[in-house]
Structure 1
């Protein structure tokens, strides 16, 4: 029992002394205890690398090229109302398949060397007739090959139209052709057009000239109810490509690029950054149609989903891929200046001590400074240099 009391008393005395020491700290001790811990060094490694400046330039999102189909001659006006759209985006457009109905009449694409410049009727002859005959034979019909709208060719044209749900004007009693007999400027002839038997069999307003037998529909512009009042109205866009970024560079910067080189583009309005790559590099200096500045035209393609906002300006960064030998370099953030204007880096030694090493900072490229001269003896790849404190 006596031992237990002694132990308790001893603990109490020790605890009291500790509490008393806490209360009796000197002001210096209290300040030292309240002070923040010593700052630690933030370091970066000395690297051996090829130095090069990234290219920063503004570019514009530009719609990709496409083939735009316009109405044929005679298919526009106040009564040219679109009554049916027969195609959709992504569909393969094939020669001979109607794409629209205009005022109830089909608009049929044919691969022709030139647009039809007149309505075709029996008795006509010329290169336009021959072009239609070639197209009809390609589609499985059997007109003659003489470049004349004879009985056989007229019959095959009517059959071609009937297969597409349209009766040619000659099937209507009393129909008269919209032209008068005359010598054709292309060297073709017209004769006997005043009789019902010689009525028009293929109005030029039904034939839409295309230059390929198959194309991909990438945009349908015509809408049901729209009036095709202007000849420059776009009906469809074919074989269109996605949007790209267009920009101009000086000749010296353009020569630093290669096709396929990766880059990034920042939409400053939304804060979205996307990955792109160099798609094409021009060979001649031109004038940018958007900015008016001169330079070598460069296009960049989107690696993923393209930005849809056409004509929006983006900030493009193209990392440098300059040729050259790797050199010893430190980040710009590791370089400090003295009042006399000289520069130095602070090197962390193996034992944790630091040493200032004088360097020349006149070759800063792309955020890095080349190490040269006597500093090369004090620094090596993998050395740690101070860039800040934390």
Structure 2
């Protein structure tokens, strides 16, 4: 009997070794109490990347061979709308402020968005005063001629076929007028009035054909003679030298836009940055290269990932007035320098904050004591919060459904 009792007792007793094995598979729940505290602004730097502008490659287009015969704007110079970048095979490449590059030669009678933006660009330079209607007519052709004259270049010529049609139409008008004159002198003949009417109609038709031929022969705009820049121009980074025979190599590389910095920040950091606020930047590895920047945009929440394995958070964009000592793609430290007052309110540890595509939230412990004996966490325990400030590992939050003394989940699960 004693042996039986001893066996039963032994089956109910767990050794320390057995307890350790069981606990090694557990995911303990760690919670923290919601308290009231006051936090000052956070100044921990975040890492961003410099972009000195948007680079654009200018390719030579047109018939072969493409030979650089002149360079009007060299490397380091600012190319403005209406100016000539270079001449290729004797023809200019003129900069225009266009939202997209021309995708066809623009000819008289053409209609479309490309004609509309072309008219807008010419109007901005003071060359076009007509209605911006997206139709290439006489007013647009005259503006193109003024553009070339202003750039010190000869305007493009119509095609040989268009010129031939004009010449043929002019001859037809002359012949019709001569026939009309002859028929008018024979009005005494029985069929004289009928012949005169026929001649008059022939003259009218010939003049109509001439008008149409002259319209078709208005000044065109080859897309090979236009490159795109912004209203503030673009800096020439590289340009092929005179005598270069262009193949697949570009004619030039341009950079437009202002220097900027983009940095990814999480919910605990974004409150330190406000649009319009000034921040301090220092180059990673060279703290002597320091500049002030201005916060100009704060993006929507991004779940992260991608090719570079970005962390979840929001992208802040900064404008740099001075980029001395910085290269395109440089890593840079960004530190908020504002003197915002301390914020007081409900606080939770920063590590308790969670994010998804729509908002920032915490998980409230359903049991409330963090002992691991409370009921499982369910959807009702998600509490959306607005982060007002972060510092020293804590965040001040605004949440209608959160109270002082509540417990929020820091890590683990039930």
**TM superposition score normalised by structure 2:** 0.45
**Higher-helix-fraction structure:** 2
